[in-house]
Amino acid sequence: MRIFFVILSVFLLSVSCKNKKQPAPILAMTHQENNGIRCTDNGCSGSYTGAEFINGDDVAHQFSNTMSNAVGKKLKELYREEKYRKVDFASITMSTQGMGSGKVVYTLVIPFTAVNEPCDAFTSFDHVGGWNHTPALARRKKELEAVTMTGHKLAISKLKTTPEGLQEYWIQWKNKTTQSDCE
């Protein structure tokens, strides 16, 4: 009988230790609870629900990267379909409910506006920002110098903020490959 309790104790201890070693994958999954993005001819929208930070990484803010990528892809797709668009900076909406609680809902709406001419469109999109600090706009502009066409400039939004402290500049430009005829 005693051997039974020893075996049971060893088993329970090993299960307990294995569970203690697994929080990283469980935490890593929480930042992907809901990051669905939907894009139409009129814009892209979506939200991220999950942890703000994981192991010091600003995972909630990384949703801005995910959205920027989706917007750039959609703008290029629309351009190829001869549906010329650019992002309507003034109508971008951002919300970051729950910041500071450990779980945030970061919602973004990036609307497009139609333009008549192919060279009035923009087909690349990015951002620079972060939580509770001034975005490094000068650095991002320097990083993006190589992607702008000769004689063209980056279009940059006014600083967008949320009450919880997210600050973003949104950036768009003519993609060198997609809009090579505009150079």
pLDDT in tens, the chain (183 residues): 444 333 334 333 333 333 333 332 222 223 333 458 999 999 999 999 988 777 666 778 889 999 999 999 999 999 999 999 999 999 999 999 998 787 889 999 999 999 999 999 999 999 999 887 889 999 999 999 989 888 899 999 999 999 988 999 999 999 999 999 998
Sign for the CA dihedral angle at 72, 125, 36, 114 comes to: negative
Asked if 107 and 87 sit in the same domain, the reply is yes
Domain residue limits at 9: 1-30
H/E run at residue 26: helix 23-30
Q: What is the pTM of this model?
A: 0.78
79 lies in the same domain as 3: no
Burial of residue 169 (number of CB atoms within 10 Å: 0-12, 13-18, 19+): buried
Residue 18, Cβ density class (10 Å: 0-12 exposed, 13-18 middle, ≥19 buried)? exposed
